[in-house]
Amino acid sequence: MRRALWPDCRGKRAELEMREQMSNRKKFGVLVIDRGDGKLGGFAELALRDGVDGAKRETTAYLEGWFVDADLRGTGWGKKLIRAAETWAVERGMVELASDAEIENEDSIAAHAALGFRETFRVVQFLKPVRRTQRGGKRS
């Protein structure tokens, strides 16, 4: 399911993110939809983040990822995950739950709005390498 949500997150990067997500239960959380028989139907990954733009406090609960299998969308499971995420945040003393969506992901933006999230910013981020790696891993 993580790969369905983040197709570019593979290999060591994905392993690192999953290890971090499981490293500290006070700071990170994973909620799942249990279909039974060992099958899952969705998940929410949560973290406490510092310095969230537009947040009232320095540390804010953050919905890092939110995914529901296509056949369960529109049936209330996404809402249940968000309600559970809100409970997770409150249990950690938080007053807000933040999230993000890709600027072109209209379905995600609409789902967030339907569940009470308000849009705070729209940005396009850029990245430019300043050092190049040559063959063999040597940096120039």
Between CA 10 and CA 70 the distance in angstroms is: 22
What is the model's pLDDT at position 11?
73
Q: Residue 75's domain is classified under what CATH number?
A: 3.40.630.30
Within a 10 A sphere around the Cβ of 104, how many other Cβ atoms?
7
Return the amino acid letter for 78. G
For residue 10, is pLDDT > 80?
Answer: no
User: What pLDDT, in 10s, does the model give residues 18-40?
Assistant: 777 777 888 999 999 999 988 98
Task: Indicate the SS3 state at residue 134.
Answer: coil
Task: Indicate the SS3 state at residue 47.
Answer: strand
Task: Indicate the SS3 state at residue 7.
Answer: coil
Residue 90 parent element (H or E): helix 77-91
- Domains in the chain, number: 1
Q: What is residue 136's DSSP assignment?
A: G
What is the model's pLDDT at position 83?
97
Can you read off the two tokens belonging to residue 61? 């609960």
For residue 20, what are the domain limits?
A: 2-137
For the sheet with 97-98, list strands across it: 28-36, 39-50, 59-68, 97-98
- pTM summary value: 0.79
Evaluate whether 44 touches 66 at the Cβ level (below 8 Å).
yes
